[in-house]
Chain A
């Protein structure tokens, strides 16, 4: 950290240099992931689909009372879980990617950034697959499509940046201690329920306070509202969170870069 200018310049050089490797690793993981599976790409959207079905069922049976949603609840919940899933994928991807390639990391010297990029590639790929699920949802529930949907990529970017920033900051710690990855599975499960993904923004009570301080909620809600052409009420928070995430991603990348050599030495062969 003594020469930040040089560090940042080298970092961008390495990002550029690792494009081809990242692509190669991405293709490898993609091919391998579905070669030993019957359902293949279906696995990308089975989890959000079933979460939605469960909640729709619970809501319909009045076990849960979600309240009014601007579009039919099933569609609303589906959009929410899909967006949430992107965030979690982005959060988990660097940890997962580094974990899978641990053996290679300790033995071969290659730009470490490539692992993060290839993981990110997978997140984006999965997102496009899930988009296919959205199309029938829009048709079945007759959700109107307006120009505000054009803002959607921005929202998607915000989710990815936020997830990636948190994930990258945790990666070095996760390499040292197995507790991180276990804890993360638990934490994201609870976090989802505390995020207005399966329900609209709570208006009062503790839930409202939690949602207010939850960085995911402005991004997720704004993005969902863009998709379904509802007015976006949290633009200010969206800009703050997305902007901060963008800066954090760069810092987290530098942190990752500085800590990797230390960690690899400690991990041994």
Chain B
């Protein structure tokens, strides 16, 4: 059992939605604490809700626990409770050893003082003695890598520099448990990898850690297990691989529910939308496989067809563009008949045709096809036409592929 550094049993914490009432409850809580009464801590008062409810878990030496869950699910609250910044309303929390929080990097920095002066103050705040700081100064400066800026007032630092200095100080102090809340979201790439290396080093030396990040790549890379919070409750807990897959799937489902609820919302994420123009009508665009079967699921290695048709009263030659977007709005590719020096023929009012795509080499995910009909710079029609999915053969590993494009390759 001595291996368990954090043991949380049935934790509960309530918050109040309104500030004034919350402050008043705070005053009442102090009062009941003073007279030693336990009050009714397990009941919700008016306007209160559970920020954490019945949360239990434990953390062993050298283990990294990832906290996942959507915004407002209670991740940061849990970290604050472990860091002893908040009182529990019920439950029992046992923490063995020192807790180091890489949450507020550079808290207590005074902008008028130099970086060096602030190192001493920040060190003292984190519980380091002046001697500790003196001994570690060189290492801190080396890690922060801010050069001669160390003797300039902190107000002249970029935010990244302040964070680097903060991280360098915070990891000097040797905790038994470290709490990481989105620390990796700041700083440039070089520094990020430096941080991750340092965290790995601490982990190997037996330091347990709790990592909060919305970047699933960081979670899957560092966490051994994940605790998934949903509205203050533990939704699930288990191996990282399993948890992150379930979580991603869950988020996507939630997202698509949301999208279905506001059908119109999504189409504005991919540039201007022009739907009604007197010269264009009956526009249809669909994706099919080579046999002409409509599909919305593609593979990144097989060819497919874009089929289009519309009616136009515009006498000038047709200028038709297809734009491929990632679901988040990133433009991936465009195909335009004039640039390709291909004339799209109209038969009377009707325009129809097909484009064969050899392979759409992107990573598995959700994509959008936008069709654009132009007359010079004027849009006659422009809107997302098809939402489709690209999948790979091995869906298991999709989670761990990062980037945008699929590079056809072979291990030899």
Residues of A near B76 (CB, < 8 A) are 269
- Give the residues in chain A near B112, CB-CB below 8 Å: 31-32, 35-36
A255 to B31, CA, bound (A): 10
Closest Cβ–Cβ distance, residue B388 to chain A (whole Å) = 41
Q: Does B242 contact A (CB under 8 A)?
A: no
B92 close to chain A: CB less than 8 A: no
Q: Is the CB of B117 within 8 A of A28?
A: yes
Q: Which of A23, A31, A177 contacts B23 (CB 8 A)?
A: A177
Mark out the residues of chain A between 82 and 136 whose CB falls within 8 Å of any chain B CB in the assembled complex.
101, 103-104, 106-110
Chain A residues contacting B322 (CB-CB under 8 Å) are none
For residue A173, which residues in chain B have a CB less than 8 angstroms away from its CB?
A: 27
A259 and chain B: residue at smallest CB distance: B30
* Inter-subunit contact A262/B87 (CB<8 Å): yes
Evaluate contact between B29 and A262: CB separation under 8 angstroms.
Answer: yes
A1 within 8 A of B: yes
Whether A2 contacts B125 in the complex (CB less than 8 A), given A265-B87, A266-B23, comes out as: no
| B34 adjacent to chain A (CB < 8 Å) | yes
Q: Is A198 interfacial (CB 8 A cutoff)?
A: no
Q: Given A35-B112, A264-B86 in contact, is the A258-B107 Cβ separation under 8 Å?
A: no
Separation of A24 and B108 alpha carbons in the complex (Å): 11
How far is B27's CA from A255's CA once the two chains are assembled, in angstroms?
12
Q: Are B23 and A176 in contact (CB under 8 A)?
A: yes
Of chain B, the residue at the smallest CB distance from A109 is B84
Question: A21 — nearest CB in chain B belongs to which residue?
Answer: B124
The answer to whether A255 touches B125 (Cβ under 8 A) is: no
Residues of the A chain whose Cβ atoms lie less than 8 Å from the Cβ of B86: 261, 264-265
Check if A263 is an interface residue, CB within 8 A of chain B: yes
A110 contact set on B, CB distance < 8 A = 125-127
**Given A35, A36, A108, which contacts B107 in the complex, CB threshold below 8 Å?**
A108
- Pick the most buried of A2, A25, A262, A269: most chain B CB atoms within 10 A of its CB: A262
Chain A residues lying within 8 Å of B30, measured Cβ to Cβ, are 172, 258-259, 262-263
Inside 8 A of A10's CB, which chain B residues have their CB? Answer: none
Cα separation A171 to B112 with both chains bound (whole Å)? 26
Check B121 against A1 for contact (C-beta < 8 Å): no
Choice from A20, A35, A101 contacting B108 with Cβ under 8 Å: A101
Cross-chain contact of A32 among B29, B35, B36, B113 (Cβ < 8 A): B113
Having A24-B121, A103-B108, A107-B104, one finds 16 other A-B pairs with CB under 8 Å, namely A2-B36, A20-B124, A20-B130, A25-B108, A28-B110, A28-B121, A31-B113, A32-B112, A103-B104, A104-B104, A104-B108, A258-B30, A261-B84, A261-B85, A265-B85, A266-B26
Nearest first, the 4 A-B pairs at minimum CB distance are A107-B104, A24-B124, A265-B86, A266-B26
